[in-house]
Amino acid sequence: MKPSSTALAPAAAAGSSRSKSRVSVGKLIMTAVMILTGLFMILPFIWMISTSFKSPSEVFDYPVSWIPKAPSLEHHLKVWTGEDSFVRYYYNSLKIAVICTIGATFLSAFAAYGFARTQFKGRNQLFLLYLSMMMVPPQVLFVPKFILFDKIGIYNTHLALILPGLFTIFGVFLLRQFFMSIPNDITESAFIDGAGHFRIFFRLLIPLAKPALATLAILDFSWMWNDYENALVFLLDRELYTVPLGMQNFILEFNVDYNGMMAATSASIVPMIIVFLLGQRFIIQGITGSAVKG
């Protein structure tokens, strides 16, 4: 004799309740792990900010004193008003990062549209060849770039950082994948209605690609803002220095001004935090959208 549905209902409800409780416990454990991981990751930033307000004698206290005994703004004021003020370095870094971010995002979108929406012979092979350039270490290109920039007269100028920064292979790949995730029916309908490539690109695909464009802009800004190697190789004059190069001012002949360095570093992360807060909601959308089609 088969049990009635009325008799099975309590057992099903109990099983569902146990399943929900297991899911809830799993979520609580995962949340706790993520919180602990997050706290562990921000400890260096807390130490950095704390050190910027300490006296030199407190820097290497053991155990670590997270709260300065006598907080002082001396080191922060020295960063902005000292002999080597960070105002000039900030301006240089912002100029280079903003120009490169806008240019790289715009040019990457154009190239990505060509690889994703136009048909020509050898398109996929050319794209694979283009991607293979990501495997070339950037350090290998320092000598050829140095010779080229010296020949055309842009060595020891900001153009030596801006011109290469306008092109990013990763940006083309990211936007190409995002464009390919958009159904072809949308662009085909636009072609039937008489729209050309430029109109489809600017009026149709660019609005749809805002998450991917914002993601690329945030990533590219962070790369250019933190670029140390290229600035070190291609800039000589102190007035052209960027923020990463300006940090060298705190490495003295016989010691290191850790308090000043931490104050300068604290100031240097402010633009990154602002840019991230303005565009954080686009990052996951852009990366997820670009991964729909491969």
CA–CA dist 103, 206 (Å, integer): 15
Per-residue confidence (pLDDT) for residue 242, from 0 to 100: 93
Per-residue confidence (pLDDT) for residue 81, from 0 to 100: 84
- Render pLDDT for 273-285 as a digit per residue (tens, 0 to 9): 888 888 777 766 6
The residue among 17, 47, 105, 22 whose CA lies nearest residue 261 is 47
DSSP code at position 251: B
- The answer to whether the beta carbons of residues 157 and 195 sit under 8 Å apart is no
Kindly report whether the global pTM for this prediction surpasses the value 0.85. no
Which amino acid is residue 274, in one-letter code? I
Burial class from Cβ neighbours inside 10 Å (0-12, 13-18, 19+) for residue 192 reads exposed
Distances from the Cα of 163 to the Cα of 13, 101, 167, 237, 278, angstroms: 65, 11, 8, 19, 26
Residues 6+ apart with CB under 8 A from 141: none
Per-residue confidence (pLDDT) for residue 22, from 0 to 100: 63
**Six token digits for residue 135:** 């495997």
**In tens digits, what is the pLDDT along the chain, a chain of 294 residues?**
555 555 555 555 555 555 556 667 778 888 889 888 888 888 888 888 888 888 888 888 778 788 888 888 888 888 888 777 888 999 999 999 999 999 999 999 999 998 988 888 888 899 999 889 888 888 899 999 999 999 999 999 999 999 999 999 999 998 998 888 888 888 888 888 887 888 888 888 888 888 888 889 998 999 999 999 999 999 999 899 999 998 888 877 677 888 888 888 888 888 888 888 887 777 666 555 544 444
**Six token digits for residue 169:** 């292979």
The tally of CA atoms less than 13 A away on the side-chain side of residue 177 is 18
CA–CA dist 130, 218 (Å, integer): 23
